[in-house]
Chains A and B, each alone.
Chain A
Protein backbone atom coordinates (compact mmCIF):
# COMPACT_ATOMS: atom_id res chain seq x y z
CA UNK A 1 0.00 0.00 0.00
CA UNK A 2 1.55 3.30 -1.02
CA UNK A 3 1.03 6.70 0.58
CA UNK A 4 -1.78 7.64 -1.72
CA UNK A 5 -3.84 4.49 -1.37
CA UNK A 6 -4.02 4.90 2.41
CA UNK A 7 -6.25 7.94 2.16
CA UNK A 8 -8.25 6.47 -0.67
CA UNK A 9 -8.76 3.21 1.22
CA UNK A 10 -9.95 5.19 4.22
CA UNK A 11 -12.39 7.14 2.07
CA UNK A 12 -13.76 4.00 0.40
CA UNK A 13 -13.90 2.35 3.81
CA UNK A 14 -16.18 5.12 5.08
CA UNK A 15 -18.45 4.68 2.07
CA UNK A 16 -18.49 0.90 2.48
CA UNK A 17 -19.31 1.10 6.18
CA UNK A 18 -22.12 3.52 5.43
CA UNK A 19 -23.54 1.29 2.69
CA UNK A 20 -23.50 -1.71 5.05
CA UNK A 21 -25.16 0.48 7.66
CA UNK A 22 -28.17 0.92 5.39
CA UNK A 23 -28.96 -2.71 6.17
CA UNK A 24 -27.49 -3.23 9.65
CA UNK A 25 -27.17 0.14 11.41
CA UNK A 26 -30.45 -0.38 13.24
CA UNK A 27 -28.78 -3.11 15.29
CA UNK A 28 -25.98 -0.68 16.20
CA UNK A 29 -28.36 2.03 17.36
CA UNK A 30 -30.37 -0.62 19.20
CA UNK A 31 -27.31 -1.26 21.37
CA UNK A 32 -26.83 2.48 21.85
CA UNK A 33 -30.47 2.88 22.94
CA UNK A 34 -29.86 0.56 25.85
CA UNK A 35 -26.55 2.23 26.74
CA UNK A 36 -27.52 5.92 26.88
CA UNK A 37 -28.82 7.45 30.13
CA UNK A 38 -32.45 8.50 30.29
CA UNK A 39 -31.48 12.19 30.41
CA UNK A 40 -30.21 11.80 26.84
CA UNK A 41 -33.23 9.86 25.63
CA UNK A 42 -35.44 12.68 26.92
CA UNK A 43 -33.90 14.95 24.27
CA UNK A 44 -32.85 12.59 21.49
CA UNK A 45 -35.35 9.95 20.37
CA UNK A 46 -33.74 6.64 21.36
CA UNK A 47 -36.66 4.41 22.42
CA UNK A 48 -37.55 3.75 18.79
CA UNK A 49 -40.48 6.15 18.63
CA UNK A 50 -40.34 9.40 16.69
CA UNK A 51 -43.05 11.94 17.36
CA UNK A 52 -44.26 13.64 14.21
CA UNK A 53 -46.84 16.39 14.11
CA UNK A 54 -48.06 18.47 11.19
CA UNK A 55 -49.61 21.22 13.31
CA UNK A 56 -49.39 22.12 16.99
CA UNK A 57 -49.80 19.05 19.19
CA UNK A 58 -53.37 18.71 20.53
CA UNK A 59 -53.80 18.68 24.30
CA UNK A 60 -57.19 17.07 24.82
CA UNK A 61 -58.78 16.84 28.25
CA UNK A 62 -59.85 13.17 28.69
CA UNK A 63 -62.77 14.22 30.93
CA UNK A 64 -64.17 16.55 28.27
CA UNK A 65 -63.27 14.31 25.32
CA UNK A 66 -66.01 13.41 22.82
CA UNK A 67 -65.73 11.12 19.82
CA UNK A 68 -68.21 12.19 17.17
CA UNK A 69 -69.50 9.63 14.68
CA UNK A 70 -71.32 11.11 11.71
CA UNK A 71 -72.28 10.35 8.13
CA UNK A 72 -74.11 7.11 7.36
CA UNK A 73 -75.57 6.58 10.84
CA UNK A 74 -79.15 6.47 12.08
CA UNK A 75 -78.42 9.70 13.92
CA UNK A 76 -75.07 11.41 14.67
CA UNK A 77 -73.55 10.09 17.88
CA UNK A 78 -70.95 11.28 20.30
CA UNK A 79 -69.12 9.12 22.82
CA UNK A 80 -67.19 10.07 25.93
CA UNK A 81 -64.04 8.17 26.90
CA UNK A 82 -66.13 6.34 29.54
CA UNK A 83 -68.63 5.35 26.82
CA UNK A 84 -65.81 3.85 24.76
CA UNK A 85 -64.46 1.97 27.78
CA UNK A 86 -67.90 0.42 28.34
CA UNK A 87 -67.77 -1.15 24.88
CA UNK A 88 -66.09 -4.59 24.63
CA UNK A 89 -62.41 -4.16 25.46
CA UNK A 90 -59.95 -5.49 22.89
CA UNK A 91 -56.25 -6.05 23.54
CA UNK A 92 -53.39 -6.82 21.20
CA UNK A 93 -49.62 -6.72 20.81
CA UNK A 94 -48.47 -5.48 17.41
CA UNK A 95 -45.49 -3.87 15.69
CA UNK A 96 -45.53 -0.29 14.52
CA UNK A 97 -43.77 0.63 11.26
CA UNK A 98 -43.24 4.19 10.10
CA UNK A 99 -42.90 4.94 6.42
CA UNK A 100 -39.80 7.02 7.17
CA UNK A 101 -38.01 3.82 8.09
CA UNK A 102 -38.22 3.28 11.84
CA UNK A 103 -40.14 0.55 13.64
CA UNK A 104 -41.15 -0.33 17.19
CA UNK A 105 -41.75 -3.99 18.01
CA UNK A 106 -44.33 -5.43 20.38
CA UNK A 107 -46.45 -2.45 21.34
CA UNK A 108 -49.35 -3.33 23.67
CA UNK A 109 -52.64 -1.72 22.80
CA UNK A 110 -56.10 -1.77 24.38
CA UNK A 111 -59.22 -0.19 22.93
CA UNK A 112 -62.33 -0.73 20.89
CA UNK A 113 -62.73 -2.76 17.69
CA UNK A 114 -64.28 -0.86 14.80
CA UNK A 115 -67.18 -3.33 14.51
CA UNK A 116 -68.23 -2.57 18.08
CA UNK A 117 -68.03 1.16 17.44
CA UNK A 118 -70.13 0.87 14.28
CA UNK A 119 -72.74 -1.12 16.16
CA UNK A 120 -72.89 1.35 19.03
CA UNK A 121 -73.13 4.25 16.61
CA UNK A 122 -75.95 2.66 14.62
CA UNK A 123 -74.16 2.60 11.27
CA UNK A 124 -76.52 2.20 8.34
CA UNK A 125 -76.13 -0.02 5.29
CA UNK A 126 -73.92 1.43 2.59
CA UNK A 127 -70.94 2.26 4.81
CA UNK A 128 -67.86 1.46 2.73
CA UNK A 129 -65.32 3.92 4.12
CA UNK A 130 -64.33 5.45 7.44
CA UNK A 131 -62.59 8.81 7.67
CA UNK A 132 -60.68 9.33 10.93
CA UNK A 133 -60.34 13.01 11.71
CA UNK A 134 -57.63 14.22 14.09
CA UNK A 135 -57.90 17.11 16.54
CA UNK A 136 -54.59 18.05 14.93
CA UNK A 137 -56.27 19.82 12.01
CA UNK A 138 -55.98 19.33 9.09
CA UNK A 139 -54.80 15.74 9.68
CA UNK A 140 -57.14 12.94 8.66
CA UNK A 141 -56.97 9.57 6.97
CA UNK A 142 -59.40 6.97 5.64
CA UNK A 143 -59.74 3.21 5.62
CA UNK A 144 -62.12 1.09 3.61
CA UNK A 145 -64.68 -0.79 5.71
CA UNK A 146 -62.92 -4.06 4.92
CA UNK A 147 -59.57 -2.68 6.12
CA UNK A 148 -61.11 -1.18 9.26
CA UNK A 149 -62.72 -4.51 10.19
CA UNK A 150 -59.43 -6.43 10.10
CA UNK A 151 -58.95 -8.22 13.44
CA UNK A 152 -55.98 -6.07 14.54
CA UNK A 153 -57.45 -2.63 13.88
CA UNK A 154 -58.75 -0.64 16.85
CA UNK A 155 -59.40 2.74 18.31
CA UNK A 156 -56.96 2.51 21.21
CA UNK A 157 -57.07 4.29 24.54
CA UNK A 158 -54.22 2.41 26.25
CA UNK A 159 -50.64 1.83 25.14
CA UNK A 160 -48.17 -0.40 26.98
CA UNK A 161 -50.55 -0.73 29.93
CA UNK A 162 -51.12 3.00 30.46
CA UNK A 163 -53.52 5.58 29.07
CA UNK A 164 -52.10 6.77 25.75
CA UNK A 165 -49.75 9.70 26.31
CA UNK A 166 -50.27 13.06 24.65
CA UNK A 167 -47.41 12.52 22.21
CA UNK A 168 -48.89 9.19 21.10
CA UNK A 169 -52.37 10.60 20.46
CA UNK A 170 -54.19 10.95 23.81
CA UNK A 171 -56.84 10.10 24.61
CA UNK A 172 -57.81 7.99 21.56
CA UNK A 173 -55.92 7.02 18.41
CA UNK A 174 -56.36 4.62 15.57
CA UNK A 175 -54.10 1.54 15.40
CA UNK A 176 -53.70 -0.08 11.97
CA UNK A 177 -50.58 -2.25 12.34
CA UNK A 178 -50.62 -3.76 8.85
CA UNK A 179 -50.14 -0.36 7.27
CA UNK A 180 -47.51 2.36 7.72
CA UNK A 181 -48.01 4.62 10.72
CA UNK A 182 -49.45 7.60 8.92
CA UNK A 183 -52.67 5.59 8.58
CA UNK A 184 -52.89 5.27 12.39
CA UNK A 185 -54.38 8.69 13.06
CA UNK A 186 -53.61 10.20 16.47
CA UNK A 187 -55.93 12.41 18.58
CA UNK A 188 -59.02 11.04 16.76
CA UNK A 189 -62.12 13.00 17.75
CA UNK A 190 -64.38 12.38 14.77
CA UNK A 191 -65.16 9.35 12.62
CA UNK A 192 -67.10 9.99 9.43
CA UNK A 193 -68.82 7.02 7.79
CA UNK A 194 -69.24 7.26 4.04
CA UNK A 195 -69.49 5.41 0.78
CA UNK A 196 -66.01 6.06 -0.62
CA UNK A 197 -62.57 6.78 0.83
CA UNK A 198 -60.98 10.18 0.41
CA UNK A 199 -57.25 10.90 0.23
CA UNK A 200 -55.87 11.66 3.69
CA UNK A 201 -53.39 14.34 4.70
CA UNK A 202 -50.20 12.60 3.56
CA UNK A 203 -51.94 10.98 0.61
CA UNK A 204 -52.52 14.47 -0.75
CA UNK A 205 -48.72 14.81 -0.54
CA UNK A 206 -47.95 11.70 -2.56
CA UNK A 207 -48.25 8.80 -0.10
CA UNK A 208 -50.15 5.59 -0.88
CA UNK A 209 -53.74 5.27 0.36
CA UNK A 210 -53.27 1.49 0.66
CA UNK A 211 -50.11 1.63 2.74
CA UNK A 212 -49.63 -2.09 3.32
CA UNK A 213 -46.29 -2.86 4.91
CA UNK A 214 -44.06 -4.77 2.55
CA UNK A 215 -42.88 -8.22 3.39
CA UNK A 216 -39.35 -7.36 2.24
CA UNK A 217 -36.60 -5.32 3.91
CA UNK A 218 -36.98 -6.92 7.31
CA UNK A 219 -40.31 -5.17 7.88
CA UNK A 220 -42.51 -8.20 7.25
CA UNK A 221 -45.68 -8.37 9.32
Chain B
Protein backbone atom coordinates (compact mmCIF):
# COMPACT_ATOMS: atom_id res chain seq x y z
CA UNK B 1 0.00 0.00 0.00
CA UNK B 2 1.14 3.51 -0.75
CA UNK B 3 2.05 5.42 2.37
CA UNK B 4 -0.25 8.23 3.35
CA UNK B 5 2.48 10.86 2.95
CA UNK B 6 3.03 10.04 -0.74
CA UNK B 7 0.99 12.49 -2.81
CA UNK B 8 -1.40 10.88 -5.25
CA UNK B 9 -0.41 11.39 -8.91
CA UNK B 10 -2.61 14.12 -10.39
CA UNK B 11 -5.37 12.54 -12.49
CA UNK B 12 -4.70 12.39 -16.22
CA UNK B 13 -7.02 12.04 -19.15
CA UNK B 14 -6.32 10.61 -22.62
CA UNK B 15 -6.57 13.28 -25.31
CA UNK B 16 -5.08 11.66 -28.44
CA UNK B 17 -5.04 7.94 -29.11
CA UNK B 18 -2.43 6.08 -31.10
CA UNK B 19 -4.04 6.66 -34.52
CA UNK B 20 -4.21 10.41 -33.92
CA UNK B 21 -0.64 10.61 -32.69
CA UNK B 22 0.71 8.55 -35.59
CA UNK B 23 -1.23 10.75 -38.04
CA UNK B 24 0.16 13.92 -36.45
CA UNK B 25 3.80 12.79 -36.41
CA UNK B 26 3.69 11.23 -39.87
CA UNK B 27 2.44 14.52 -41.26
CA UNK B 28 4.90 16.55 -39.17
CA UNK B 29 7.97 14.52 -40.17
CA UNK B 30 6.97 14.53 -43.85
CA UNK B 31 6.36 18.27 -43.75
CA UNK B 32 9.79 19.00 -42.31
CA UNK B 33 11.52 16.74 -44.88
CA UNK B 34 9.54 18.34 -47.72
CA UNK B 35 10.21 21.84 -46.39
CA UNK B 36 13.98 21.30 -46.16
CA UNK B 37 14.31 19.72 -49.62
CA UNK B 38 11.82 22.21 -51.06
CA UNK B 39 13.76 25.21 -49.75
CA UNK B 40 16.96 23.80 -51.28
CA UNK B 41 15.16 23.62 -54.63
CA UNK B 42 13.52 27.05 -54.20
CA UNK B 43 16.08 29.42 -52.68
CA UNK B 44 18.91 30.32 -55.10
CA UNK B 45 21.46 30.64 -52.29
CA UNK B 46 20.72 27.11 -51.05
CA UNK B 47 20.37 25.49 -54.46
CA UNK B 48 23.75 26.77 -55.61
CA UNK B 49 25.28 25.74 -52.28
CA UNK B 50 23.96 22.16 -52.42
CA UNK B 51 24.10 21.89 -56.25
CA UNK B 52 22.62 18.39 -56.41
CA UNK B 53 19.33 19.34 -57.96
CA UNK B 54 18.52 15.93 -59.41
CA UNK B 55 19.04 14.11 -56.08
CA UNK B 56 17.27 16.72 -53.95
CA UNK B 57 14.37 16.79 -56.38
CA UNK B 58 14.03 13.00 -56.30
CA UNK B 59 14.09 12.98 -52.49
CA UNK B 60 11.42 15.72 -52.44
CA UNK B 61 9.16 13.82 -54.83
CA UNK B 62 9.57 10.42 -53.14
CA UNK B 63 8.99 11.84 -49.66
CA UNK B 64 5.77 13.34 -51.04
CA UNK B 65 4.72 9.96 -52.42
CA UNK B 66 5.60 8.27 -49.11
CA UNK B 67 3.58 10.92 -47.26
CA UNK B 68 0.49 10.26 -49.39
CA UNK B 69 0.79 6.48 -48.99
CA UNK B 70 1.34 6.74 -45.22
CA UNK B 71 -1.62 9.08 -44.72
CA UNK B 72 -3.85 6.78 -46.81
CA UNK B 73 -2.73 3.74 -44.76
CA UNK B 74 -3.47 5.52 -41.49
CA UNK B 75 -6.93 6.51 -42.73
CA UNK B 76 -7.65 2.92 -43.79
CA UNK B 77 -5.95 0.89 -41.05
CA UNK B 78 -6.23 3.31 -38.12
CA UNK B 79 -9.11 3.99 -35.76
CA UNK B 80 -11.51 5.28 -38.40
CA UNK B 81 -14.36 6.00 -35.97
CA UNK B 82 -12.09 8.19 -33.93
CA UNK B 83 -10.78 10.03 -37.01
CA UNK B 84 -14.34 10.63 -38.20
CA UNK B 85 -15.16 11.98 -34.74
CA UNK B 86 -12.09 14.27 -34.92
CA UNK B 87 -13.17 15.64 -38.29
CA UNK B 88 -16.73 16.21 -37.06
CA UNK B 89 -15.37 18.17 -34.08
CA UNK B 90 -12.91 20.14 -36.20
CA UNK B 91 -15.39 21.32 -38.80
CA UNK B 92 -17.95 22.32 -36.17
CA UNK B 93 -17.36 25.97 -35.27
CA UNK B 94 -20.06 26.55 -32.66
CA UNK B 95 -21.19 29.70 -30.84
CA UNK B 96 -18.57 29.24 -28.11
CA UNK B 97 -15.86 28.89 -30.74
CA UNK B 98 -16.96 32.06 -32.47
CA UNK B 99 -16.92 33.91 -29.13
CA UNK B 100 -13.48 32.43 -28.37
CA UNK B 101 -12.15 33.62 -31.73
CA UNK B 102 -13.32 37.13 -30.82
CA UNK B 103 -11.06 36.78 -27.78
CA UNK B 104 -13.93 36.35 -25.31
CA UNK B 105 -13.88 33.67 -22.65
CA UNK B 106 -15.93 30.71 -23.83
CA UNK B 107 -15.88 27.04 -22.86
CA UNK B 108 -14.04 24.85 -25.37
CA UNK B 109 -14.21 21.21 -26.43
CA UNK B 110 -11.29 18.83 -27.00
CA UNK B 111 -10.05 21.17 -29.74
CA UNK B 112 -10.26 24.88 -29.10
CA UNK B 113 -11.33 27.12 -31.97
CA UNK B 114 -7.75 28.03 -32.82
CA UNK B 115 -6.79 24.38 -33.02
CA UNK B 116 -9.77 23.77 -35.29
CA UNK B 117 -8.65 26.54 -37.63
CA UNK B 118 -5.11 25.18 -37.59
CA UNK B 119 -6.38 21.71 -38.46
CA UNK B 120 -8.67 22.98 -41.25
CA UNK B 121 -5.86 25.05 -42.77
CA UNK B 122 -3.34 22.22 -42.44
CA UNK B 123 -5.66 19.73 -44.13
CA UNK B 124 -6.57 22.15 -46.91
CA UNK B 125 -2.95 23.14 -47.50
CA UNK B 126 -1.88 19.49 -47.58
CA UNK B 127 -4.38 18.66 -50.32
CA UNK B 128 -3.40 21.75 -52.32
CA UNK B 129 0.31 20.99 -51.87
CA UNK B 130 -0.33 17.49 -53.20
CA UNK B 131 -2.40 18.75 -56.15
CA UNK B 132 -0.03 21.55 -57.20
CA UNK B 133 3.03 19.38 -56.62
CA UNK B 134 1.59 16.59 -58.73
CA UNK B 135 0.81 19.08 -61.51
CA UNK B 136 4.36 20.47 -61.35
CA UNK B 137 5.74 16.94 -61.68
CA UNK B 138 3.33 16.03 -64.45
CA UNK B 139 3.81 19.31 -66.33
CA UNK B 140 7.52 18.63 -66.78
CA UNK B 141 6.61 15.44 -68.62
CA UNK B 142 3.44 16.51 -70.42
CA UNK B 143 3.48 20.23 -71.16
CA UNK B 144 -0.30 20.45 -71.40
CA UNK B 145 -0.36 20.28 -67.60
CA UNK B 146 1.78 23.38 -67.12
CA UNK B 147 -0.67 25.92 -65.68
CA UNK B 148 0.33 29.54 -65.24
CA UNK B 149 -0.14 29.61 -61.44
CA UNK B 150 0.87 26.15 -60.22
CA UNK B 151 4.32 27.20 -59.07
CA UNK B 152 2.95 30.35 -57.42
CA UNK B 153 0.37 28.27 -55.51
CA UNK B 154 3.06 25.86 -54.31
CA UNK B 155 5.27 28.81 -53.24
CA UNK B 156 2.47 30.68 -51.45
CA UNK B 157 1.40 27.49 -49.65
CA UNK B 158 4.97 27.15 -48.41
CA UNK B 159 4.90 30.70 -47.07
CA UNK B 160 1.50 30.29 -45.33
CA UNK B 161 2.46 26.87 -43.93
CA UNK B 162 5.69 28.14 -42.42
CA UNK B 163 3.79 30.97 -40.73
CA UNK B 164 1.26 28.43 -39.43
CA UNK B 165 4.03 26.09 -38.27
CA UNK B 166 5.85 28.86 -36.39
CA UNK B 167 2.63 29.77 -34.58
CA UNK B 168 1.93 26.10 -33.84
CA UNK B 169 5.43 25.51 -32.47
CA UNK B 170 5.22 28.64 -30.31
CA UNK B 171 1.93 27.55 -28.75
CA UNK B 172 3.00 23.91 -28.39
CA UNK B 173 6.47 24.48 -26.94
CA UNK B 174 6.74 27.96 -25.44
CA UNK B 175 3.42 29.63 -24.61
CA UNK B 176 2.95 29.01 -20.84
CA UNK B 177 -0.76 28.20 -20.82
CA UNK B 178 -0.79 25.78 -23.76
CA UNK B 179 2.56 23.99 -23.62
CA UNK B 180 1.17 21.51 -21.04
CA UNK B 181 -0.70 19.94 -23.95
CA UNK B 182 2.55 18.66 -25.49
CA UNK B 183 2.30 15.35 -23.65
CA UNK B 184 -1.09 14.79 -25.26
CA UNK B 185 0.46 14.47 -28.69
CA UNK B 186 3.61 12.60 -27.59
CA UNK B 187 2.31 10.10 -25.01
CA UNK B 188 -1.42 10.72 -25.30
CA UNK B 189 -2.58 12.06 -21.95
CA UNK B 190 -2.86 15.50 -20.37
CA UNK B 191 -3.34 16.73 -16.84
CA UNK B 192 -7.05 16.60 -16.06
CA UNK B 193 -7.00 19.83 -14.08
CA UNK B 194 -5.40 21.66 -17.00
CA UNK B 195 -7.88 20.06 -19.37
CA UNK B 196 -10.78 21.22 -17.17
CA UNK B 197 -9.44 24.79 -17.30
CA UNK B 198 -8.91 24.85 -21.06
CA UNK B 199 -11.25 22.26 -22.58
CA UNK B 200 -14.09 22.01 -20.09
CA UNK B 201 -16.78 20.85 -22.55
CA UNK B 202 -14.61 17.86 -23.49
CA UNK B 203 -13.84 16.87 -19.87
CA UNK B 204 -17.51 17.16 -18.93
CA UNK B 205 -18.56 15.05 -21.92
CA UNK B 206 -15.96 12.40 -21.05
CA UNK B 207 -17.22 12.28 -17.45
CA UNK B 208 -20.84 11.93 -18.53
CA UNK B 209 -20.02 9.09 -20.96
CA UNK B 210 -17.98 7.34 -18.22
CA UNK B 211 -20.96 7.50 -15.84
CA UNK B 212 -23.35 6.16 -18.43
Contacts and interface: CB of A to CB of B under 8 A. Distances in A.
Interface of A: 3-4, 6-8, 10-11, 14-15, 18-19, 21-29, 43-45, 50-57, 99-103, 167, 180, 205-208, 211, 213-214, 216-219
Contact of A54 (B43, B53, B120, B143): B53
B30 interface: no
Contacts of A27: 149
B17 interface: no
A3 B132 contact: no
A7 B153 contact: no
Contacts of A101: 136, 139, 146-148, 150-151
Most buried by B among A27, A211, A217: A217
Nearest to A55: B51
Given A10-B120, A15-B127, A22 B144 contact: no
Interface residues of B, number: 47
B88 A14 contact: no
B91 A219 contact: no
Nearest to A103: B148
A53 B155 CA distance: 19
Interface string B117-136: 10011011101100110011
A29 B51 contact: no
A57 B141 contact: no
Contacts of A52: 47, 53
Contacts of A214: 143-144, 146
Give 6 nearest A-B pairs by CB, closest first.
Answer: A7-B91, A14-B124, A25-B149, A18-B128, A25-B152, A101-B151
B152 A28 contact: yes
Contacts of A23: 147-149
Given A4-B88, A54-B53, A22 B140 contact: no
